[in-house]
Amino acid sequence: MTEMSPMDHAPADQSRTDQPPVLDVRHLVTELRLRRGALRPVDGVSFRVGRGETLGIVGESGSGKSMTCLSLLRLLPRPGGRIAAGEVLVAGTDLTKLSEKELARDWRGRRISMVTQDPMSSLNPVYTVGDQVGAPLRYHGLAHSRAEARARAADALGRVRIPSPEARLDDFPHQFSGGMRQRVVSAMAIACAPEVMIADEPTSSLDVTIQVKMMDLYKQIQEETGVAIVLITHDMGVAASICDRIAVMYAGRIVEQGPAREIFRNPAHPYTRALLNAIPKLGEKSKRLYALGGQPPSLLDMPGGCRFAPRCTLADAKCLAAYPGDSDLGSGHRAACWRLSEEGAPDAA
Amino acid sequence: MTAETTRLPDHGIGAQLRSLFGDGFPWISAGILVGVILLAMVGPMVSPWQPGALDLRSAFQPPVWAGGAWSHPLGTDNLGRDIFSRIIAGTRVSVIVAFWAILLSGAIGTIIGMIAGYFGGWADTIIMRLVDMQLSIPPLALALILAAVLDPGLQAVVIVITVTYWSWYARIVRGEVLSLREREYVALARIAGCGPLTIFARHLAPNIVNTLLVLATLQVGQVIIFEASLSFLGLGIQSPDISWGVMLADARGYITNAWWAITMPGVAIMLTCLASNLFGDWLRDVLDPKRKQL
Amino acid sequence: MLLEARDLKKHYPTRNGVVKAVDGVSFTLEPGKTFALVGESGCGKSTMAKLMLLLERPTSGAVVYDGQEVTAMRGRALRRFRRDVQAVFQDPYASLNPRLRVGKIIAEPMMAQGDLDRGAIRKRVAEALDVVGLQPDAARLYPHEFSGGQRQRIAVARALAVRPKVVILDEPTSALDVSIRAQILNLLSDIQDEYGLSYLIIAHDLALVEHFSDVTGVMYLGNMVEQGPTASIFDTPSHPYTQALLASAPRPDPDHHLPTDVIIGEIGSALAVPSGCPFHPRCPKRFAPCDSENPERRATAPGTWARCHLLHGPDTAPGHPELHLSERTRS
């Protein structure tokens, strides 16, 4: 980051976090049992998302961000995947305690829905778009007849700004362009008016000019419906443009979270700083980028102390010995770094 | 970086063998296939009787569990020949035919398929039309035509089967090469200036070996049945030479008074085919790269 | 000049008509410089890479290397081209043959050249591994034993080991994680400085292009719509498409507002390239001549040109643009 000015507390962020959260994830631990042993791709993750709020979970591949998402919906790989500990509270109900049947009937796709990266694999090529958007409505009992499902599907397609939605109900996925397909997938996700929508890299396969419009669409949908959005992305730019709050994940844990402006203006964790410094920025002419050495640890071979310590320029004996607790930096900004718990902010990375 | 690059690899022959024999290895199918091959090699040494030896006094003896004697465990046929010894003699023909027919059709089909897949264009068009033509002719009709031209016998059987099956390999290899050709490392090999032969040998062939292996294993059964059918129809091996198909053909005349004479070679064919199919299925699963992920 | 595209066209006949993947693109790669091709998916930039690498033959036009037309090269000249021009591709998982040891992968271009003995090749492999920051014993391992970033280092080592003059980088970092991307980009910069290499980089990430390249060409539906020194393109973009791309690029700044009105709809099909300016159906600034006439190149700054009817106005085309253009093509 170029600016390291003292943080300007944003009252809007403060008030939002004071609302009772729609999604409250507490100490979530997900285990994958393989032949070689049990892995913990998600290891004690906690976050909250309020109504009408967007939380961005950013991290690199293998950081556990996608596995966190799948854990929320209990869509873990089988056999071997299970939630080992923690709670996932949606509007006060702990999803980890529900039976598979209850979860499928009343929650998954109904009150908590998901959009994935590749719109083509989310859509079945042999069914019309109207059938596919209408299917969850009928399954969850929100539409009692075919005609009603069609009407509501058309309404959902209209809400994602697909032009002349009634006329397109009988089209097949291949008749839509890439950006329009992602809109159809989003229409499926919002058709049942969920309280929480999880979007896993929803724009990564789109070109920037289309990406902008998708992100704008999510903002509009959120304003209209108040849905809480969890956005998984590896792209700091995408996170900055749409998220109210950001959680940075590294090796299965959230190392820093807080209001977006705080994270970008005043990053506290050395990993967050390194990530922000490593991306080339438009209008910045410097020839060399800041390069973080090494690579993320393997899940099979997790360092004992702070998981970022082996790559951190500020690490000392303590960092290698034990994982640091979260330090509260005010206005919901928290980071897990020994430097913060001891002597305030660490020196610039 | 050092830690990762110096890590010891786990892909030695030992580890590979362990994972191969570890879970679900089809011991029975493998045993039958190995048994058939061994019998083909040492057949005359373990065979209790001369397979062609006539003994009209002991004609139509039933198998041992149906009231026969231990001297002819699977019974005898209309000329008193020992069925057990004749089945052992028949394995020889089956194994020789399967080996040569699969080797020849596989080699020809692979080369033609690689050329069609890699070069594309008119070479591909001509080859694929040829394959389509080949596949539209019923194999038995083709066999009849060839039998009219060739002298019946082992050689003719191998030629007929090769002519029938090369197109299968050509089609599958072409499909594989079409997708492999688009791999970036093949493009990079061309950028590096490697010629087509190098690219075939280094980048394409090793990646289709698995497919070929599976296809060949699955085809053992088909080839054995094909040989039996040809011989049964009198287009292949001719009596008094022995093959399972010849035995079926010979026994067909007295099927009502000696069921075992036609059943025993039939069971031999069935067991071998079943074993080759099961083994091939297992091989396909094991060699599937997607299975290696976990 | 080292590598040049002269009015390159690549048309693919299909059942539904002719796909004009590249439709008349020219540029020059100067020694020691980096030329970047940017644009959305489907703009023809990857086809350009294939044409420049002689993986595909152009429908018309020519690729010229060191004064010689590449498609006409035979024997020694072709072998030299195959040594001098190497490539690094996007996906480090697909670009290394999983069945070959890393040492053999890196040695392949040298083996194809056939002018070095085994010992010399082994030495060069070790050197190349060292340059990209890997241990020499990496040569004995297989690709699956490395992470994505390490594999991309291996791909760079392979391209480098034959001592090429040009390396074509097709999205070299877009499959990598953010923190690994910077490592590879810095490595590529260092190698360029040390060996005086020329790069042709194909990328969709504008910030990366601005950071990494000297000259930029912006492609849209098989056409080059704007080209010039990177600083000039990024500081004062003239073509509405370049402007839209730059405005749409997400920035790691929560206060930056991304406009949604700079471009209409999605990229058209190369099967049915619009009449006139190919960008006009998506252009919010289109006017009368745009749908009938494809604009000529207009100089917009020294060494910079764009193809847009808006630039016909007297205040945007100073001096004698055509004169400047002909100078460029002759040099």
Beta-strand relationship, C198-203 and C166-170 = parallel
Cβ within 8 Å, pair A289-C210: no
Domain residues for the domain of A161 are 119-191
Signed CA dihedral, C272, C277, C279, C282: sign only: negative
- Phi/psi zone of residue C7: left (φ > 0), alpha (ψ -120 to 50 degrees), beta? left
- Residue at A61 is within a domain: no
pLDDT at A301 over 90: no
Q: Which residues of B151-185 are buried (b: 16+ CB within 10 A; e: fewer)?
A: ebebebbbbbbbbbbbbbbbbbbbebbeebbebbb
Written as one string, the DSSP assignment of A95-141 is GGGS-HHHIIIIIBTTTEEEE-S-HHHHS-TTS-HHHHHHHHHHHTT
Q: What is the dihedral of CA A67, A69, A73, A79, to 10 degrees?
A: -10
The closest alpha carbon to C93, from C146, C134, C132, C160, belongs to C146
Cβ within 8 Å, pair B190-C55: yes
User: Which subunits have 3 or more CB–CB pairs within 8 Å of chain A?
Assistant: B, C
* Site from A54, A120, A205, A207 to mutate, C interface, most C CB atoms within 10 angstroms: A207
What is the identity of the amino acid at C136? Answer: P
**Digitized pLDDT (tens) for each residue of chain C, 331 residues in all:** 699 999 999 999 888 889 999 999 999 999 999 999 999 888 999 999 999 999 999 999 999 999 999 999 988 899 999 999 999 999 988 999 988 999 999 999 999 998 899 999 999 999 999 999 899 899 999 998 888 889 999 999 999 999 999 999 999 998 888 888 898 999 999 999 999 999 999 999 999 999 999 999 999 999 999 999 999 999 999 999 999 999 999 999 989 888 888 898 888 888 888 989 999 999 999 988 898 988 989 998 888 999 999 886 434 344 333 434 333 333 3
Question: In chain C, which among 183-202 make CB contacts under 8 A with chain A?
Answer: 183, 185-186, 189
Number of domains in chain A: 2
**Which residues of chain C lie closer than 8 angstroms to A276, CB-CB?**
252
Task: Give B99-105 contacts, CB < 8 A, sequence gap 24+.
Answer: B100/B158, B100/B162, B101/B157, B101/B158, B101/B161, B101/B162, B101/B165, B101/B223, B102/B165, B102/B216, B102/B219, B102/B220, B102/B223, B104/B158, B104/B162, B104/B166, B105/B161, B105/B162, B105/B163, B105/B164, B105/B165, B105/B166, B105/B168, B105/B169
Q: Which residues pair with A256 in a beta bridge?
A: A248, A335
Tokens (6 digits) for B153: 């016998």
Is the minimum CB–CB distance between C109 and chain B shorter than 8 Å?
yes
The pLDDT assigned to B23 comes to: 60
Does domain B29-287 correspond to CATH entry 1.10.3720.10? yes
- Annotated domain spans of chain B: 29-287
- Average confidence score pLDDT of chain B: 83
Identify which of A35, A294, A295 has the shortest CB distance to residue B294.
A35
Kindly provide the ipTM of the predicted complex, given to two decimals. Answer: 0.84
Cβ within 8 Å, pair C253-A178: no
B170-225 tens-digit pLDDT:
999 999 999 898 889 999 999 999 999 999 999 998 888 888 988 888 888 888 88
* Site from C97, C158, C163, C168 to mutate, B interface, most B CB atoms within 10 angstroms: C97
Interacting residues of A153 by C-beta distance below 8 A, sequence separation 6+: A129, A130, A133, A134, A137, A169, A187, A191
Average pLDDT estimate for A159-171: 89
The pLDDT assigned to B288 comes to: 66
Domains contained in chain C, CATH given:
3-224 (3.40.50.300)
pLDDT at A225 over 80: yes
Cβ within 8 Å, pair C179-A295: yes
Which residue of chain A comes nearest to C244, CA vs CA?
Answer: A209
- Residue at A187 is within a domain: yes
Which residue of chain C comes nearest to B187, CA vs CA?
Answer: C55
Whole-number percent of chain A with pLDDT over 90: 50
Cβ within 8 Å, pair C162-B192: yes
**Which residues of chain A lie closer than 8 angstroms to B4, CB-CB?**
295
The pLDDT assigned to B239 comes to: 76
- Residue at A261 is within a domain: no
With 0-12 / 13-18 / 19 or more C-beta atoms within 10 angstroms meaning exposed / middle / buried, residue A240 is: buried
The pLDDT assigned to B94 comes to: 85
The pLDDT assigned to B154 comes to: 86
- The CA distance from C107 to A153, in Å, is 58
Tokens (6 digits) for C104: 């053999």
Neighbouring CB atoms inside 10 A of A23's CB total: 24
What is the identity of the amino acid at C68? Answer: Q
- Residue at A307 is within a domain: yes
Is the minimum CB–CB distance between C130 and chain B shorter than 8 Å?
no
The pLDDT assigned to A232 comes to: 94
C211-246 tens-digit pLDDT:
999 999 999 999 999 999 999 999 999 999 999 999
The closest alpha carbon to C289, from C306, C272, C301, C307, belongs to C307
Average pLDDT estimate for B28-52: 85
- Residue at A238 is within a domain: no
A294: closest CA of chain B, how far (Å): 6
What is the identity of the amino acid at A111? Answer: R
- The CA distance from C222 to C284, in Å, is 20
Is the minimum CB–CB distance between C245 and chain A shorter than 8 Å?
yes
Written as one string, the DSSP assignment of A140-163 is TTS--SHHHHHHHHHHHHHHTT-S
B158-177 tens-digit pLDDT:
998 898 889 989 999 999 99
Distance set, CA C214 to CA A79, A264, A270, A301, C291 (Å):
52, 29, 32, 42, 33
- Residue at A265 is within a domain: no
A259: closest CA of chain C, how far (Å): 10
